[in-house]
């Protein structure tokens, strides 16, 4: 926790509050005195609150000034609406005003506490800010930014335990709108389990060339039980669809993340074909997924383009899709996810909608995947994918 705080505050964290102060706080707070010379008559301390931590209602007979350093927090005067506090905000607390201050439910919070009129100032501690009061104070109010819902916090924490987003500190309005949408509203639709959802997002980030988001979701995938082999197979499967030129950086990044986690490379091989069998096995798998469509593609292909059909059978399907590590239903779902994320692939999307149906992924499943990818690929590609779904599968 201390290490996380140093990432968002230039001042020292200090130590846990001593008993004489901690009994007036709900949750854990830390205190770091910054001034030592009493002759200056201006005591300044850095006070840091863990998420959800706040102090009791209280007042200072000499007043106080708060300067917000990092995170998100709140300040509330008795009988008035709470005020959201962000880095750079200054709170001037007049003498004898009853108030409380503390962290947001989902963010660490740090401020400088500057004592005013210290020689005559006395702090009067009152009752605790109970859970009901705290929840009401940290609920959306007019003119304020939206707050993370409990579901959004829970779902985000499942993927990235104890992660403190840097973007949340610099762009709190954006990140909270996105998180409430992606990790509450969108996740609440459909019934995809967490592993499948994260795997589809992984494939989508590769197809979208979103390396930063990909890194986040590799860690999330490993946190929720996706195996290293499954992560690698998602990567390998993207090669025939996205192209090695666009995938190679993702491979290097994955290897770095695996090394950081102590995952030994190379992983166990998953290939099921040889140079002699790759075409035959690939063609057989194609026909299993797409049926008579494959024979028609061969029959109607011009002679000078027939080699592409053979490449599809031997390379795309024989070298990649026949591999173990992922079952065929997951692989077809991944291909669908990658294609709709790339854009401009509507013809291939329609073909793989049919392929998904043939291996047991129904329209509801495909619509669930499209919905979960919406926050990451945007509305135009989402609507194009839905149009393809409706054209291939009539309701």
For residues 39 and 46, give the distance between their C-alpha atoms in angstroms, rounded to a whole number.
Answer: 20
Would you say 149 and 80 are in contact if contact means Cβ atoms under 8 Å apart? no
How far apart CA 61 and CA 120 sit, in angstroms, is: 7
Cis peptide before 104 (omega within 30 of 0): no
Please give the Cα distance from 315 to 304 (Å, whole number): 18
Candidates 37, 45, 52, 43; CA nearest to 14 is 45
**Fold classification of 2-137 (topology level):** Jelly Rolls (2.60.120)
Type and span of the H or E element at 45: strand 44-49
Q: N- to C-terminal Cα distance for the chain?
A: 52
| Same CATH fold assignment for domains 2-137 and 194-270+323-392 | no
Nearest to 237 by CA among 346, 313, 323, 361: 323
Q: Where are the domains of the chain?
A: 2-137, 150-185, 194-270+323-392
> 194-270+323-392 has which CATH code?
1.20.1290.10
| Spatial CA neighbour of 7 closest among 171, 169, 214 | 169
**Which of 11, 4, 96, 84 is closest to 47 using CA atoms?**
11
Per-residue pLDDT of the chain (395 residues; tens, 9 = 90+): 444 444 467 888 899 998 888 899 999 999 999 998 888 888 999 999 999 999 999 999 999 999 999 988 999 999 998 999 988 899 999 999 999 999 999 889 999 999 999 888 899 999 999 999 999 888 754 445 556 777 888 899 899 987 877 787 788 889 889 999 999 999 999 999 999 999 999 999 999 999 999 999 999 999 999 999 999 999 999 999 999 999 999 999 999 999 999 999 999 999 999 999 999 999 999 999 999 999 999 999 999 999 999 999 999 999 999 999 999 999 999 999 999 999 999 999 999 999 999 999 999 999 999 999 999 999 999 999 999 999 999 87
Name the strand (E) or helix (H) holding 156: helix 150-159
- Within 8 A by CB and 6+ apart from 332, the residues are 289, 352, 355, 356, 359, 361
């Amino acid at each position: 926790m201390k290490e996380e705080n140093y990432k968002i505050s230039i001042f020292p964290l200090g130590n846990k509050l001593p008993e004489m102060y901690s009994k007036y706080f709900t949750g854990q707070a830390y205190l770091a005195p910054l001034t030592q010379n009493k002759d200056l008559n201006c005591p300044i301390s850095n006070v840091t609150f863990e998420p959800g931590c706040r102090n009791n209602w209280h007042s200072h007979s000499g007043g106080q000034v708060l300067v917000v350093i990092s995170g998100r927090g709140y300040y509330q005067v008795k009988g008035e609406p709470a005020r959201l506090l962000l880095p750079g905000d200054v709170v001037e607390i007049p003498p004898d005003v009853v108030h409380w201050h503390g962290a947001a439910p989902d963010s660490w919070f740090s401020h400088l506490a500057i004592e005013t009129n210290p020689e005559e100032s006395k702090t009067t501690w009152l009752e605790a800010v109970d859970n009901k009061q705290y929840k009401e104070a940290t609920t959306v109010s007019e003119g304020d930014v939206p707050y993370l819902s409990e579901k959004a916090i829970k779902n985000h924490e499942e993927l990235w335990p104890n992660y403190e987003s840097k973007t949340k500190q610099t762009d709190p309005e954006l990140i909270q709108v996105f998180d409430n949408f992606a990790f509450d509203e969108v996740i609440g639709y459909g019934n995809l389990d967490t592993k499948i959802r994260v795997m589809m997002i992984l494939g989508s980030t590769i197809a979208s060339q979103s390396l930063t988001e990909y890194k986040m979701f590799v860690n999330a995938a490993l946190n929720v039980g996706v195996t290293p082999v499954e992560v690698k197979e998602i990567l390998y499967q993207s090669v025939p669809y996205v192209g090695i030129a666009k995938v190679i950086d993702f491979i290097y990044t994955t290897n770095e993340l695996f090394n950081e986690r102590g995952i030994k490379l190379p992983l166990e091989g998953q290939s099921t074909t040889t140079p002699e069998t790759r075409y035959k096995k690939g063609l057989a798998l194609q026909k299993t997924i797409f049926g008579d469509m494959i024979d028609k593609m061969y029959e109607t292909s011009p002679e000078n383009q027939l080699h592409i059909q053979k490449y599809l059978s031997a390379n795309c399907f024989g070298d990649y899709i026949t591999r173990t590590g992922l079952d065929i239903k997951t692989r077809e779902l991944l291909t669908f996810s990658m294609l709709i994320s790339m854009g401009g692939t509507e013809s291939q999307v329609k073909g793989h909608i049919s392929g998904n149906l043939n291996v047991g992924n129904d329209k509801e499943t495909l619509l669930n995947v499209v919905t979960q990818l919406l926050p990451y690929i945007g509305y135009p590609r989402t609507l194009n994918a839905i149009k393809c779904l409706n054209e291939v599968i009539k309701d």
